[in-house]
Every structure is written in structure tokens, then in C-alpha cells.
Structure 1
């Protein structure tokens, strides 16, 4: 058994902060969008994939300093506002105490993962088993990152569970032939359900042990 957590929106409550920051930077470029549109379009994707989508919509390349400025602003907002998803620290501590193998596999960069996991008190649980889209050629919704995580953890992918909150992440888990649990606590945002494939949705981290068959 292996539990693979996504990070943003599953371990750390970063999505609203990141989307609002991205929205400000995109509107400064003259792109017509909204925080909600940013969430729908970019949630769960690597920054490289987001850049491709943004440049296609803009019809031109992003300024050379765009990503540096966006990261600086986003990280600054994280330092001030970021918290863990309610209940997740207790769940991770419980998995650790029960010697259940787990790791994190995120579309975010290693620098972002270090900041967000440290800020929320989760770094010590995941250190040494942190996997980023930077580690593979194709990010979510391709299965590469989850398969890489399972290989590094020495577990058959079909014995792994993925905990995700985005459609690209859910699709990546299904493509990797893993069991997928879709965390969905925001009633105003559609559940991340794919067109095909078996996915179990849940809305509170306290439900996770039972879904994993640990109760």
C-alpha cells in the first residue's frame, strides 16, 4: 500500500492564494480573466503547462521576468497567509504512526514544496519522499509523476492510492491505474470528476482513514 498526496489543495490551502496572485499578474499583462477562471484553467497543472496555456491565450511570449515576479509575489503571500488543509496534519501523523507508506507528488516546484510544507508543519513527515513535476518529462494529467513516485517508493502502482483535488490530478491517477480519492470541500467549485473512471469523492480529511481501509 502507498498513499500519494497531491500538495496544493490537499495538504496545504494554497489554491485561492495562488489563483488570486496569478490573476493579478495576468490582468497586469492585459489578459482578461478572473480568479475563478484561473482556478478552472490552471489548477493542478505544472507551471510549464500553465505558461503554454497563458502564452496561447495572449498570442505572445510572456515577459522574461514574469515567472520570477509571480513566484516572488506568490511565495510572499504564502509566508503571510498559508495554512494546512483542516485535519490533514492529524491524518498524516496518524499514517506515520501506523507505518503506512505515503509521499507527496505535486505539480509544484521543489522550491514551492519546501516552502509550503515547512510553513504548514508538514515537511518533517514528507522529507525524503517529495516528488515534483520537475522530476518528470510530462506533468499531470499524464501519469508520469505518480508512476515515478510509486517507483521511488518501491510500490506497485496498482497498490497505490492517490489523493487529489484537481481534474488533471485525478486523470493522472487513473492513467497510472491507481485508486483515486478526490478531495472536494468547496461547494462552489465542481467536483473533479473525469469523463470515465472510478473516483471516490470526499469532503473532510477525517473521512480518509476509512476510505483507505484503515478503520
Structure 2
């Protein structure tokens, strides 16, 4: 039995990836870089916004220095309008609570963003004190530091990570942690190739976790 479940936030707890990436698609089009939503998600899901900026510049976008603040403001506005939970998350958290298994969130996103998405879904109080962010630690996935820091915080000997991005899976494998790869938008082959156990429905998670 695992003694800690580490959740990614965007795309695992909250269904925010499509919303956020559509904002990036629309924004970059204004700078002459035209991507489909699928192309955008393939390029950017699981990264930091600084990484998005650098990749977009490499693609030819002449982005201003204040672009990350600009895109965060645009993204927050969209997310505030409504960001649903991933189906099955409330039930999964209830089962973890019932069995006394601790859990936390570890994300490359800013805490402010998580407050918007988790807050509107009643999960902020559950996660606000067990939140590990690349912006607080100064280093993000695919580096394993965030996951290792979370495990040390809980003195966990058998943590498991639930991720939906290549960077997240890579970080978990580098931390020598079991990783469940949630693939809701494709076949999960990329995550599987990196070492994740792929699943497509959060209702499958309790069985995978041995609950």
C-alpha cells in the first residue's frame, strides 16, 4: 500500500489543460505563430510558462519581456470563468481520506493559479498546506526535486505520483517513484514509453492504488 499520493494539478485534479492551451493558441497567433490545440498541448503541457515563452520564441514569436505576466493574466481570466474537476477526483479523494492515506499536489504552475482552479471546486483547503510548486522551490519538472521534497515532508517510504505530462512522468521516474499516467486526450503511448502505467479514466485509480 502506498503511504502518499502526489497529484499533479492541471489535467489531473482539474480539467484546465484544454482551457489554458487554447489561451496560448489564441495569444501566439497574435505574434505570428499558428498552432492547433493538439500541437500546442503536445509542445507545452507539463512545462513552466517560462519554458513556453522560450519555445514560442524559438518558433519565431517576438514575445515581449512581460509576456509571461500577460499570458498568466489571460489564462486566469478564462479559468475563473469555470474550471471543472476531473471526473472521479472527488470520489478518489474521499477514498484516500477514508483510509487515512495522505496526499498532496506538486505542480509546475503558480500557487495563484491553483488557488483559482482548486478554490472554485472546494479543494483549496485540502491542498493549500500540502502544495509543492516549481515557483516556490525554484525548480520544476522534469527535475525530481519537487517529488522528493514532498516525500520527505510526509516521511513517505512508498509514494506514488499521478501525472499527465512527459515532464511529470520523467520527474517521477527520476525520483524512483511509481507513476500512474493519466491519458484522457490520447492513447498515452508517450507517457508509457517514459515509464508510466497508463490509464484513461480516474475511476480506475482506486484499483490501481490498491484502495
Identify whether the pair has TM-score above 0.5, normalized to the shorter chain: yes
Contact 2:14–2:84 (Cα < 8 Å) also in 1:
yes
Corresponding position of 1:24: 26
Contact 1:136–1:148 (Cα < 8 Å) also in 2:
no
1:149 aligns with 2:150: yes
The equivalences for 1:118-197 within 5 A come to: 118-156=119-157, 159-187=158-186, 190-193=188-191, 195-197=193-195
Per-residue deviation at 1:177? 0.2
TM-score normalised by structure 1 residue count: 0.90
Identify if the C-alpha distance between structure 1 residues 150 and 107 changes in structure 2 by more than 3 Å, giving closer, same or farther.
Answer: same
The counterpart of 1:205, out of the listed 202, 205, 208, is 202
Per-residue deviation at 1:59? 6.6
1:33 aligns with 2:16: no
Corresponding position of 2:72: 71
Contact 1:167–1:194 (Cα < 8 Å) also in 2:
no
- CA distance in 1 between partners of 2:111 and 2:64 (Å): 23
Per-residue deviation at 1:109? 0.5
- CA distance in 2 between partners of 1:32 and 1:205 (Å): 32
Deviations 1:66-85 (A, max 9, x none): 22221122111111131000
SS of the aligned residue for 1:180 comes to: strand
Per-residue deviation at 1:196? 4.8
Contact 1:6–1:104 (Cα < 8 Å) also in 2:
yes
- CA distance in 1 between partners of 2:128 and 2:190 (Å): 28
Identify if the C-alpha distance between structure 1 residues 192 and 88 changes in structure 2 by more than 3 Å, giving closer, same or farther.
Answer: farther
Name whichever of 133-142 and 9-18 sits farther off. Answer: 133-142
- CA distance in 1 between partners of 2:190 and 2:48 (Å): 17
- CA distance in 2 between partners of 1:38 and 1:177 (Å): 29
Per-residue deviation at 1:97? 2.6
Corresponding position of 2:89: 88
Following TM superposition, where does structure 1 have runs of at least 4 consecutive aligned residues deviating by more than 4 angstroms?
Answer: none
Per-residue deviation at 1:11? 0.2
Contact 2:181–2:188 (Cα < 8 Å) also in 1:
no
Name whichever of 170-179 and 199-208 sits farther off. Answer: 199-208
Identify if the C-alpha distance between structure 1 residues 59 and 114 changes in structure 2 by more than 3 Å, giving closer, same or farther.
Answer: closer
Structure 2: gaps of 5 or more residues: none
Deviations 1:27-58 (A, max 9, x none): 11111322211100010111222222222222
